[in-house]
Amino acid sequence: MIFLALKTYKQTTGDEVIKILSPVKKVQEETGVSIIACAQATDVYRIKKELDIEVWAQHIDPIDPGKNTGWISPYSIRQAGATGVLINHSEHKIPEEAIIKTVEKAKQYGLKTMLIGHTVEMVEKFNSFDINFISYEKEDLIASTTSMIDQQEEAIKELIKKLKHPLIIGAGINDGEDVKKSVMAGAKGVLLATYFVTAPDPEAKLRELASGFKV
């Protein structure tokens, strides 16, 4: 599985996000690798409608429909076509109490969840939560040239032995080799953004990343 955390880059907003994601369905069908776009709330409906690929939200707030001006409603996100949500990304951390409520609301409204931890201890704690995926990504490695799997390989292998949820490796995933190492260590997939979004040829980069699952 490849989760594309599209952040708020200009290249992943509005018309441009449709362009950059246009090869996703084809690459997914040709490689057999699931590719999930984690998009801005404003683009979820459009991506689903125009490209018919799986799309997740980057964040939701733990609210029900009603008087919540300015908040991101799980119900609205689901109605827009999203099937899941990232929770507690290092660029949008939330307190543990909010994490618990957000996980509950996501489940209530039919959204799958990936809960992101930034330390081994945090990931181990999140293992007891009722979620679909856990991601481990160190903040200082995000968008860096050092991948998580290179720096944390042994820790990741030990972590996977303890986890009941599938682990997704994030932070510094640069190429197919990083993906291959992650899969061989026991990870279910990867979470990345920068090296896809900024690639001269995003489709070629996507194919390269997908090739890492051939182990």
- What would the pLDDT profile of 151-184 be if each residue is shown by its tens digit? 888 989 999 999 999 999 988 888 999 999 999 9
For the segment 71-93, the average pLDDT, to the nearest whole number, is: 98
Contact 17, 6 (CB under 8 A): yes
Asked whether the predicted pLDDT for residue 144 surpasses 90, the reply is no
Percent of the chain past pLDDT 90, that is, above it, reads: 87
Buried b (16+ CB within 10 A) or exposed e, 75-95: bbbbebbbbbbbbbbbeeebe
Please give the CATH architecture assigned to the domain spanning 2-211.
Alpha-Beta Barrel (3.20)
Q: How many CA atoms lie within 13 A of 56 on its CB side?
A: 26
Min mean pLDDT across 52-66, 78-92, 127-141, 142-156 is at 142-156
Catalytic residues: 89, 137
Label residue 143 by pLDDT band (50, 70, 90).
low
Asked whether the predicted pLDDT for residue 57 surpasses 70, the reply is yes
Determine if residue 125 is left, alpha or beta; phi over 0 gives left, psi from -120 to 50 gives alpha, anything else beta. alpha
